[in-house]
Amino acid sequence: MKIGVMSGATAAVGNTVDSIVTFAQMVEQRGFSSLWMANIFGLDAITTLSIVGRETSAIELGTAVTPTYPRHPTAIAQQALTASAVCGGRFTLGIGLSHKLVIEDFLGMSYRQPAKHMEEYLQVLGPLLRGQPASFSGEIYNTHLTLDVPQAESVPLLVAALGPKMLALAGSLAEGTSTWMVGPQTLEDHTIPCLSAAATASSRTAPRIVTGLPIVVTNQIEEARAVISKELEIYGMMPSYRAMLDREGAAGPADVALIGDEQVLRKELNRLRDIGVTDFNAAIVPVAEGDVERTLSFLESEI
């Protein structure tokens, strides 16, 4: 299991381009395999990671994730291919539906037929990311074009998938999934079997499972639980994440977070390895001064 780190979901990394570049250079030097960036209501993740790509040389850079509804699939394909060219082929595109609250209430767009939207979106986006023409006529998208981005390599595509329909799409039309707030039992019993079955049925290679979870190495267990519960409270309220937490039997984000000393968290990481997670995406949530470095040092020892 490869180990990467998250930026953009918690305050541990900072929220400026310069701070993310500095953090990326540091974790690359320490041997981490990947840096992931959430696309929320601040910096654009693809643009930021393109800049990071110019300032790094080896680390994989990926979005976790960029919402689909506000961006036509051809537009996001151009962005992703450009990022690939800038990063020397180290860019991975993670996409997701976002949430009804964001798409309808914040943006004023329709969130109708989310599974149909994603299926057609992937039919257009997938070929373009592989450097092939897109020719698709559907209910939502009617697209026929080819992109020519010099020096771009094929861009790996991950889909944020939680329910069965989305997992089937991720397994059949993408390279895998990028999850957030999905606990180990749900991954083992639901996510990985559904995803793998879809990939097998479509004659695709074994899917990639990038699992994002809050983590902190600390001896202040209750304090950490309180901080995570407060900072990440919104994720326990959104219906899609709430469904995964309920499936796990978790009251909130703190119940799926990795919290404890090095020995405890080593067991947690080993469990994720054993059930088939291919990449751990560590969202570090510090409680006290020194927690970020202690957590990074522990994760570095597990690479």
From first to last of its 303 residues, the chain has per-residue pLDDT tens of: 999 999 966 667 888 999 999 999 999 999 999 999 999 899 999 999 999 999 999 999 999 999 999 999 999 999 999 999 999 999 999 999 999 889 999 999 999 899 999 999 999 999 999 999 999 999 999 999 999 999 999 999 999 999 999 999 999 999 999 999 999 999 999 999 999 999 999 999 999 999 999 999 999 999 999 999 999 999 999 999 999 999 999 999 999 999 999 999 999 999 999 999 999 999 999 999 999 999 999 999 999
Of 159, 302, 230, 255, give the one whose Cα is nearest residue 11.
230
Q: Residue count of the chain, please give it.
A: 303
CATH of region 2-221+260-301, choose from 3.20.20.70, 3.90.550.10, 3.20.20.30, 3.20.10.10: 3.20.20.30
Angle at 173 between CA 170 and CA 176, to 5 degrees: 40
* Spatial contact of 279 and 5, defined as CB atoms under 8 Å apart: no
**pLDDT tens figures, 188-243:** 999 999 999 999 999 999 999 999 999 999 999 999 999 999 999 999 999 999 99
* Spatial contact of 38 and 44, defined as CB atoms under 8 Å apart: no
Q: Is 242 left (phi over 0), alpha (psi -120 to 50) or beta?
A: alpha
Cβ-based neighbours of 76, under 8 Å, separated by 6 or more: 46, 66, 68, 93, 95, 125
Q: Determine if the pTM surpasses 0.95.
A: yes
| Summary mean pLDDT of the chain | 96
Question: DSSP string spanning 64-117?
Answer: S-EESTTS-HHHHHHHHHHHHHHHTS-EEEEEE---HIIIIIIT------HHHH
CB atoms near residue 290 (< 10 Å): 11
34, β-bridge pairs = 4, 60
* Spatial contact of 83 and 113, defined as CB atoms under 8 Å apart: no
